[in-house]
Amino acid sequence: MKPTADTYFSDTAEEFDSGYKYSPAFKERFKVWTNLWPKYLPLTGKALDLGSGSGILSFPLATKGLQVTGIDGAANMIALCNSKKDALRIQNVEFIASKIPFDQSILPTPYDVVISSSVLEYIEDIDRVLADVYAILKPGGIFIVSMPNRQAVYRKLERIAYKLIQRPKYMKYVQHVVYKNDFNNKITRLGFDLLHSEFYGRQNKMLSFLPEAIASTLFVSVFKKKTNSTRLTF
């Protein structure tokens, strides 16, 4: 069977999950994401974690009080999530094994919140996924998404390294590395208001003297679905 992003992340599920305990970059990612929640997320309602991985954001969302559905195409990631759910005895979270783009019929829509952390860069038909997110969100619903920053020096070096030595391995599956403004404009044209956007992820302290947009490997943006508009096209 031809390797895919799903099989890669399934094979590395334990290593990925442990990153949130030991990796400064992963710890920063968790902090950036959870710092956004008090300002932008409702206290109740239904949330979808699109590309939930090992549930690193799904469980805090559930603890916050939301009814959470996590969806991921990596079988071992879903197995990890279900193992954690049993151990934590958290009832208001469920996990579904499914490829992305997803079949809307398997989800208990509509949702008040959709989050997607470092997932969409691996999806070839990203426009289809974004249209699906729009469709399953309630008017006024919140969409929080992160993507790799194309302006970053590190991203340029990453692409060169992969061409020369096929490292880092995940680069084999990356479909999209984007400019923040271009990506945000794409989402707003779909029928969303941009509430917030920030860079994060300075992989190399030697680059700290550079402007934020060039030194940061990632960005995260918060959108709100318009309540009285017709969805636009890409």
How far is 115 from 118, CA to CA, in rounded Å?
Answer: 10
**For residue 46, what are its two tokens?**
């239904």
Residue 86: CB atoms within 10 Å: 9
Give domain status of residue 95, yes or no: yes
Give domain status of residue 231, yes or no: no
Give domain status of residue 230, yes or no: no
Residue pair 51/41 in contact by the 8 Å Cβ criterion: no
What's the pLDDT tens digit per position in 77-117? Answer: 999 999 999 999 999 999 999 999 999 899 988 999 999 99
Range of the domain at 148: 5-225
Any idea what the CATH number is for the domain that residue 13 is in? 3.40.50.150
* pLDDT for the residue 70: 98
What's the pLDDT tens digit per position in 191-222? Answer: 999 999 999 998 666 667 789 999 999 999 99
Please tell me the pTM assigned to this model.
Answer: 0.95
Residue pair 80/16 in contact by the 8 Å Cβ criterion: no
* pLDDT for the residue 210: 85
Q: Which of 188, 163, 185, 190 has the alpha carbon at shortest distance from 174?
A: 163
Q: Which of 116, 73, 111, 64 has the alpha carbon at shortest distance from 95?
A: 73
* pLDDT for the residue 232: 55
Directed axis angle between helix 180-191 and helix 126-136, to 10°?
40
Q: How many domains does the chain have?
A: 1
Give domain status of residue 76, yes or no: yes
